[in-house]
Homo-oligomer: A and B are copies of this chain.
Amino acid sequence: MISNDMYMLGSKRSVIREIFEYGKIRASQIGADKVFDFSLGNPNVPAPECVKQAIMEILSNENPVAIHGYTSAQGDFTTRKAIADSLNKRFNTELTADNLYMTVGAAAALCICLKALATQGNEFITFAPFFPEYKVFVENTGAKLIVVPSNSDDFQIDFDLFEKAINTNTKAVIINSPNNPSGVVYSEQTIKKLCSLLEEKSKKFGHVIYLISDEPYRELVYDDIEVPFTFNYYSNTLICYSYSKSLSLPGERIGYVAVSSKMEDKDSVYAAVCGAGRALGYVCAPSLFQKVIAKCLDSKPDLEIYKKNRDLLYNEMTKLGFTCIHPDGAFYLFVKSPEEDANLFCEKAKKYELLLVPGDDFGCPGFVRIAYCVSTVQIENSLPAFALLAKDYNL
């Protein structure tokens, strides 16, 4: 009588959420400091001071009707211009405010891009491991998500498998680098090869295959790793961005879609993005935070904590004998399960109060995700438990 699909989506809690809820119960039983919850990708670093200052300034100096009023559907012009200018300066692009459409976070940005592009019988390709909601978002447009496994050693794209998956129904390829859950950043070589293949296949099938680059972790990279800026490698690219991680504002739901200034039919695609935002009920992105973004574009939270956590966890886990993918970005460590079924491994880890997420939902069975957006103390205190777990497997 009501939508069964929506009922199923709403009544089945995600595996991550199940583990998180278990953690809360367990914490109430034995104390929060005894439970090592690595389940959620929720930034633990506060927003930079700039955010608070910007809010105070705006509230003190600007007209309240304008502060909280509707912006245009595509977003406040000043904010879009500021973002375009900042991107141009960093990446040598030629974007204007009219290449940007402000959204209620990256999930909204993705849903809007998919809805704007999808036509009857379309397929969208992504690479495992991938953010599980991609499937929900793609299927909501009536299209199909095709998942292509990655190279098992470095988690870059497996081009043989990818080439086999592309066909005339392929509307777009979704990439997520730095990646949730693997922490892997695509190399320039990977991006170049991907884009050249997309050019070739677009020609072969006589229609554009778009690249959707989902980049909420763009600024979260360590050492001197560079994330290739996709607009500079492929004209038919849409970027989905969020300030959830780069300004630690996940709950405020603020991000954007950027349409490449070099895209063949950029005006039509931008119009379709506007139409999709309208059809999905988005109206405009939250107005106060649009203004905050314009003032805080060059700020970052203290990302050193993530780097410290990454180094500590990667080094110690590797020493203990676990096989870990080296994360160059994001705040996740992807670890090979010592037994085939990562779910069983996660169950065993629970005995030591270690809450890890099996990779199955990310399309990568046999691996687990450890979210290290937690206090360094939690990681330090968890190491003896990981040592016992390693011993259990005779590592």
Number of residues of chain A lying within 8 A (CB) of chain B: 77
A394 sits at the interface (CB 8 A)? no
Asked whether, in the complex, the Cβ of A133 is within 8 Å of the Cβ of B251, the reply is no
Of B10, B71, B119, B270, the contact of A272 (CB 8 Å cutoff): B10
| B115–A6 touching, CB < 8 Å | yes
Q: Which of A50-58, A175-183, A323-331 touches B?
A: A50-58
Q: Please, what's the 1-or-0 string for A253-273, where 1 marks a CB less than 8 Å from any CB in chain B?
A: 100000000000100111111
How far, in whole Å, are A108 and B42 apart by their CA atoms in the complex?
A: 24
Name the residue of chain B whose CB is nearest to the CB of A249. B68
**A281 and B110 form a contact (CB under 8 A):** yes
Closest to A140 in B: B279
Q: How far is the CA of A278 from the CA of B277 in the complex (A)?
A: 15
Contact A59 B65 (CB under 8 A): no
| Residue A118, interface by CB 8 Å | yes
- Note all chain B residues with C-beta closer than 8 A to A137: 279, 281
| Residues of chain B lying within 8 A (CB to CB) of residue A43 | 65, 69
A100, B84: Cα distance in complex, Å = 38
Contact of A68 among B6, B11, B63, B248 (CB under 8 A): B248
Per a CB cutoff under 8 Å, which of B3, B112, B275, B286 touches A7? B275
List B contacts of A70 (CB < 8 A). Answer: 42, 250-251
Q: Would you call A64 and B42 a contact (CB within 8 A)?
A: no
Instruction: Tell me whether A1 and B265 are in contact in the complex, defined as CB-CB below 8 angstroms, given that A10-B271, A10-B272 are known contacts.
Output: yes
Question: Which residues of A in the span 57-90 have a Cβ within 8 Å of any Cβ on B?
Answer: 59, 63-65, 67-71
Chain B residues with Cβ below 8 Å from A208 are 1
A282 to B11, CA, bound (A): 16
A100 to B275, CA, bound (A): 29
Query: Which residues of chain B come closer than 8 Å to A250, judged between CB atoms?
Result: 68-70
Contacts of A9 in B (CB 8 A): 274-276, 278-279
In the complex, residue of chain B having the shortest beta-carbon distance to the beta carbon of A133: B278
Pairwise interchain contact A68-B252, C-beta atoms closer than 8 A: yes
Interface string of A1-38 (1 = CB under 8 A from B): 11111111111000000000000000000000000000
**A207 at interface by CB-CB < 8 Å:** yes
With A64-B46, A279-B9 in contact, do A284 and B3 touch (Cβ < 8 Å)? no
On whether A10 and B71 interact (CB within 8 A), knowing A65-B248, A253-B286, A280-B280, the answer reads: no
Main SS class of interface, A:
helix
How far is A9 from B107 in the complex, measured between Cα atoms in Å? 21
A105 at the interface (CB under 8 A from B): yes
Please give the distance in Å from A35's CB to the nearest CB on chain B.
18
A137, A281, A288, most chain B CB atoms within 10 A:
A281
Q: Within the complex, what minimum Cβ distance (angstroms) separates A300 from chain B?
A: 14
Contacts of A112 in B (CB 8 A): 281
Residues of B within 8 A of A388 (CB): none
* Cα distance, A112 to B2, chains bound together (Å): 12
Q: Which residues of B contact A110 (CB under 8 A)?
A: 281
**A52: contacting residue among B59, B104, B116, B140, CB under 8 A:** B59
Q: Are B269 and A2 in contact, with the CB atoms below 8 A?
A: yes
Chain B residues lying within 8 Å of A269, measured Cβ to Cβ, are: 2
Q: CA A111 – CA B285 in complex, angstroms? A: 16
In the bound complex, CA of A108 to CA of B284 (Å): 11
Decide: A3 and B119 in contact? CB cutoff 8 A.
Answer: yes
Residues of chain A at the chain B interface (Cβ within 8 Å): 1-11, 42-47, 51-52, 55-56, 59, 63-65, 67-71, 104-105, 107-108, 110-112, 115-119, 133, 136-137, 140, 207-208, 248-253, 265, 268-289
| 12 additional contacts (CB under 8 A) given A11-B274, A252-B286 | A2-B116, A2-B265, A2-B269, A3-B276, A6-B279, A11-B271, A44-B65, A56-B56, A65-B248, A104-B104, A108-B283, A280-B281
